[in-house]
């Protein structure tokens, strides 16, 4: 039995607390915000989540699969919306394979309940972490609103407090702490398509809708109540950018021109657009993820990624399982457990960070191209012929638990082989035609 | 006339203050430490500096060339110390070309005097910056020792407060601020070779002494009083590393084995080694370097680099001149001036950061190899034949003011051309020999 202090009751923090509680540890969870189950949830900045195989595997460990799938919408593929002309559907994998769209708030609530029911887990909301005592192993928190009423929480500290982690902020000041924060030149704006009459979805709910425009894009994911959460990813500066869309007229014109079908579904477009905040997208890398046996980081706190592979929450959940496994192997030697956890997860976090950045280019620029679609079809065909040897990257990431770094490596080899074969086939075909016509 | 607040009275801060004072601006300089001209200087963590063409050019603008050269020691090349066998000298450039070894403290004192004599420059030592007011343009400082007595300093803020810059620390918290800190796996330890009888140098004072050992190295630079400042660059972990050198016996044995000639010159080796702190080496990149016309960064505060090209101070001095130039072009539009300054300097700072990291590999691993020496000689020869077209990288960095990024680009092209020609010559020679013997 160890005493843990988890900073952050978001997705990673609450799942971790549940796993620790179940394993018989005593856990205090400190969360800056109010309990999301008792009040209003911050809106306008929550990209919908996609939970796929990795996340489901972690949720299954807590027996939460059914509870989660009940409030999720399965997505079988991408629906591409051109400026004009028919929609085009691209399946994510084989029949039956889907990722699961879910609202961050709903998922968080299920996990908070699970944590509280798992054992000796005590939640304290409205507490902001201000200090880290690495010698003794403790956190000091204050009231998040008043900044008063400091309280000391002794225990092994787990920082699950997100991209702007206060725990990591303390570690960053130490010498020899490697850290980077890289912002995309693109930001995002959340918009909303309400449900149709009788709660009907006004677009196919079982697809991730994409409006690729080359250089920027829009996305929509279904909610269970018939509505859609829409996210526009757009540059901060330049000709088509947030810096130009500052008047109702400019917003309306931009949507009329670029997203006419979506425009018709979004009520009060200009007001919502100009009223909602513009979010920024950051990739954070940090190392080490732990100091001795006193503190460890997980999820966005040590490896925030951009959302374009839908893997942020899934990666955090994998962290939690890896940490649980390492603690199980070395219950009396936390320094060693944390070391093994970091060695296992760090290369994978780096890999998914790169893949997520790469997928932005794919989604906004390449999905609409005929060559891209042709290559995807060839990949699907080869996968059917050699299902164990050739697995498309998207399938490895979303429908298997092959470690991210391993998946990236395999995908590189596969792509080279398939392109080589395609070139050989093309050369052979040209040679054959030449034989026939000469 | 503008009111400036310069954070940091190190090399960059004091030179910048002197330039601003000379241009008729009012300047307040805030420095956390005590005035180095009135008390003892922190020892044990100051790598000796090498001032070369870029730095000298900036110093000449203030008429300080003679004052500086008087307290500097010219270094004409590298003296390679093998474990056994004779020393080998490698000239840096042509006859008469040298870099100038100088102690950081002495250089700083000259610059502080110059700043105070340049005009309306007011120095406040023992003040720590705690807050940045970006709206109004101001800094709040407190007494560095007590943390009390806050004072507000209105003005345009220039952050010249080093790698751990408090001003940049404030900017880093803003959204969309790109930042990275990357530590080398190697640290450094300062040691000391005292002067010989009658103040004589016990090694050639006009060379940079290097003990390359593959994986790590030691360096020594002469001081004007006959002593040498020695710096050992060694991994933190691994077989030969700081983590193993924790007893007097281990230290003595390591030096006996690896640096027998230096060992004989360093008195109280083990005591000094174990008593002095182990420094770490960081590369810092950040962007943007300015916010509107309110605050700008310079030197290590925005681009700390590792010391292996001897360019940290030179790069900071180039920043100061670039900033002075931009302010002169746009005296009434500081936002534009800062923007031009950043656009000019940022790619160059990135280039010298990479080159400095690359030079560590060269100094510790490659300088001792015969192929490396052969290539250096070929380069010197080609440079003599085509002095305008072919300039060795080291020469471009140390003996010209070709922008760092341009120097890096040219060096890449040059290396490819010379290697190509060497291969052609080798092939031709083999062909000729073949003709003769068959």
| CA–CA distances in Å: residue B114 to residues A142, A275, B306, B401 | 48, 53, 27, 23
Q: Which chain A residues have a beta carbon less than 8 Å from that of B176?
A: 183, 236, 280
Question: Does residue B247 sit at the A interface (CB-CB below 8 Å)?
Answer: no
- What residues does B421 pair with on adjacent strands? none
Mean pLDDT of B148-158: 96
Q: Do A175 and B181 touch (CB under 8 A)?
A: no
Which pLDDT score is estimated for B112?
97
- Give one word for A31, left, alpha or beta, with left for phi > 0 and alpha for psi -120 to 50: beta
Does the N-terminal peptide bond of residue A19 adopt cis geometry, omega within 30 degrees of 0? no
Backbone phi, psi, residue A244, to 5°: -95, -20
Question: B169 contacts in A (CB within 8 Å)?
Answer: none
- Chain A residue numbers with beta carbons less than 8 Å from the beta carbon of B175 are 183, 280
C-alpha distances in Å from residue B405, one per residue of A214, B346, B389, B401: 31, 10, 17, 11
Select the residue of B175, B176, B181 nearest A178 (Cβ to Cβ).
Answer: B181
Q: Binning pLDDT at 50, 70 and 90, where does residue B404 land? A: very high
Distance CA A156, CA B248 (A): 36
How high is the pLDDT of residue A36? 86
Q: What is the pLDDT of residues B71-87, one digit of tens each?
A: 999 999 999 999 999 99
Q: Is B182 on the interface with A (CB under 8 A)?
A: yes
B237 touching A (Cβ < 8 Å): no
* Contact yes or no for B280 and A177 at CB 8 A: no
B117 in contact with A at a CB cutoff of 8 Å? no
Min Cα–Cα distance to chain A from B50, Å: 25
Q: B178–A177: do the CB atoms touch at under 8 Å?
A: no
ipTM > 0.85? Answer: no
Q: Is B438 helix (H, G, I), strand (E, B) or coil?
A: coil
Measured in angstroms, the CA of B172 and the nearest CA of chain A are apart by 9
Distance CA B176, CA B132 (A): 18
**Alpha carbon distance A16, A160 (integer Å):** 9
* CA distances (Å), origin B254, targets A141, A349, B27, B79, B367: 47, 39, 50, 21, 21
Q: What 3-state DSSP class applies to A175?
A: coil
Q: Is the pLDDT of residue A201 over 60?
A: yes
Q: Give the model's pLDDT for residue A44.
A: 47
Both tokens assigned to A301 = 């706190």
C-alpha to C-alpha distance for B163 and A22, rounded to whole angstroms: 45
Q: Where are the alpha helices (DSSP H) in A62-140?
A: 65-70, 104-117
3-state secondary structure B379-400: HHHHHHHCCCCCCCHHHHHHHC
Reduced to 3 states (helix: H, G, I; strand: E, B; else coil), residue A128 is strand
The reply to whether residue A178 touches residue B182, judged by beta carbons under 8 angstroms, is: yes
A168-177, A295-304, B330-339, range with the lowest pLDDT = A168-177
- Residue B168 exposed, middle or buried by CB count within 10 Å (0-12, 13-18, 19+): buried
Token code pair at residue A283: 């990739």
Instruction: Give the bridge partners for B218, in sequence order.
Output: B211, B232
CB–CB contact B179 A177 (8 Å)? no
In degrees and rounded to multiples of 5, residue B177 shows phi and psi of -100, 115
Strand order in the sheet with A49-51: A49-51, A99-102, A73-75
Nearest CB partner across the interface for B179, out of A177, A180, A236: A180
Residues 266-285, chain B: which have Cβ within 8 Å of A? 280
pLDDT band at B293 (very low <50, low <70, confident <90, very high): very high
- Which H, E and C letters describe B196-250, residue by residue? CHHHCCCCCCCEEEEEECCCCEEEEEECCCCCEEEEEEEECCCCCECCCCCCHHH
User: Residue B221's closest CA among B22, B77, B318?
Assistant: B77
Contact B372/A at CB under 8 A: no
Rounded Cα distance, A403 and A318, in Å: 10
> Between A and B, how many residue pairs show a Cβ–Cβ distance under 8 A?
32
Question: Looking at chain A, how many residues does it have?
Answer: 438
Dist. CA B92–CA B112, nearest whole Å: 31
Under DSSP, is residue A284 helix (H, G, I), strand (E, B) or coil?
Answer: strand
Identify which of A17, A34, A32 has the alpha carbon closest to the alpha carbon of residue A120.
A17
pLDDT in tens, A20-42: 999 999 999 999 999 988 866 55
Chain A closest-CA separation from residue B279 CA (Å): 9
Q: Which of residues 14-73 of A touch B (CB under 8 A)?
A: none
**Cβ-based neighbours of A102, under 8 Å, separated by 6 or more:** A48, A49, A50, A51, A68, A71, A72, A73
Say which of A177, A183, A236 has its CB closest to residue B178. A183
Contacts of B286 in chain A (CB under 8 A): none
Residue range A89-119, pLDDT digits in tens: 999 988 889 999 998 989 999 999 999 999 8
pLDDT of residue B76: 96
Q: What is the pLDDT of residues A39-65, one digit of tens each?
A: 665 554 456 799 999 999 999 999 999
pLDDT of residue B44: 46
Tokens of A264: 């018709």
Assess B179–A contact: CB distance below 8 Å, yes or no: yes
Q: How far apart are CA A221 and CA B270, in angstroms?
A: 66
Count of residues for chain B? Answer: 438
Q: Provide the pLDDT for residue B39.
A: 66
Which residues in chain A are closer than 8 Å to B177, comparing Cβ atoms? 181, 183
**pLDDT tens readout for residues A272-309:** 999 999 999 999 999 999 999 999 999 999 999 999 99
Average pLDDT, chain B: 93
Q: Which two tokens stand for residue B147?
A: 């943390």
Q: CB distance from B243 to chain A under 8 Å?
A: no
Per cent of chain A over pLDDT 70 is: 98
Whether B310 and B99 have beta carbons less than 8 Å apart is answered as yes
What does the alpha-carbon distance between residue A203 and residue A259 come to, in Å, rounded to a whole number? 14
CA distance B312 to B51: 9
Q: Which of B111, B113, B147 is nearest to B131 (CA)?
A: B147
Q: Quick one: average pLDDT of B281-295?
A: 96
Mean pLDDT across B400-418: 94
- Tell me how far apart the alpha carbons of residues A233 and A167 are, in angstroms, rounded to a whole number: 30
| Mean pLDDT of chain A, nearest integer | 93
Looking at residue B362, what is its pLDDT? Answer: 85
A65 is written with which tokens? 């699969």
CA distance B313 to B162: 11
The alpha carbon of residue A301 is apart from the nearest alpha carbon of chain B, in Å, by 15
What single DSSP character describes residue A241? Answer: B
- Cα B95 to Cα B19: distance, rounded to the nearest angstrom: 33
Q: CA of B280 to nearest chain A CA: how many angstroms apart?
A: 7
Q: Is B89 on the interface with A (CB under 8 A)?
A: no
């Amino acid at each position: 039995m160890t005493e843990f202090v988890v900073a952050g009751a978001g997705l990673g923090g609450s799942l971790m607390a549940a796993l620790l509680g179940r394993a018989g540890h005593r856990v205090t969870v400190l969360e800056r915000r109010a309990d999301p189950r008792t009040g209003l949830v911050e809106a306008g900045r929550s990209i919908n989540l996609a939970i796929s195989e990795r996340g489901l595997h972690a949720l299954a460990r807590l027996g939460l699969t059914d509870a989660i799938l009940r409030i999720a919408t399965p997505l079988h593929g991408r629906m591409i919306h051109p400026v004009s002309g028919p929609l085009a559907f691209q399946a994510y994998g084989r029949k039956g394979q889907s990722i699961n769209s879910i609202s961050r708030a709903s998922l968080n609530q299920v996990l908070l309940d699970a944590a509280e029911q798992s054992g000796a887990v005590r939640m304290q909301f409205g507490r902001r972490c201000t200090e880290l005592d690495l010698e003794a192993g403790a956190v000091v928190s204050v009231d998040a609103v008043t900044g008063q009423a400091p309280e000391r929480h002794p225990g092994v500290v787990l920082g699950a407090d997100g991209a702007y982690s206060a725990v990591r902020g303390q570690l960053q000041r130490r010498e020899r702490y490697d850290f980077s924060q890289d912002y995309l030149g693109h930001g995002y704006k959340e918009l909303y398509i309400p449900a149709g009459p009788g709660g009907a979805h006004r677009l196919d709910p079982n697809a991730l809708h994409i409006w690729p425009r080359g250089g920027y894009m829009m996305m929509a994911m279904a909610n269970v109540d018939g509505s859609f959460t829409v996210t526009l990813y757009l540059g901060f500066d330049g000709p088509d950018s947030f810096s130009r869309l500052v008047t109702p007229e400019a917003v309306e014109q931009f949507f009329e021109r670029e997203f006419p079908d979506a425009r018709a579904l979004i009520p009060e477009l200009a007001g919502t657009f100009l009223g909602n905040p513009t979010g920024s997208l950051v990739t954070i890398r940090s190392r080490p993820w732990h100091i001795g046996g006193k503190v460890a980081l997980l999820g966005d706190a040590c490896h925030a990624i951009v959302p374009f592979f839908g893997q942020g929450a899934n990666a955090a959940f994998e962290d939690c399982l890896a940490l649980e496994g390492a603690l199980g192997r070395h219950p009396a030697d936390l320094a060693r457990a944390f070391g093994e956890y970091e060695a296992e997860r760090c290369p994978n976090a780096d890999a998914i960070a790169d893949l997520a950045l790469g997928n932005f280019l794919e989604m906004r620029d390449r999905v609409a191209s005929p060559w891209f679609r042709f290559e995807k079809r060839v990949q699907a065909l080869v996968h059917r012929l050699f299902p164990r040897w050739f697995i498309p990257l998207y399938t490895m990431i979303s429908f298997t638990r092959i470690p991210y770094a391993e998946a990236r490596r395999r995908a590189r080899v596969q792509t080279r082989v398939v392109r080589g074969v395609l070139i050989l086939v093309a050369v052979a075909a040209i040679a054959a035609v030449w034989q026939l016509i000469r």
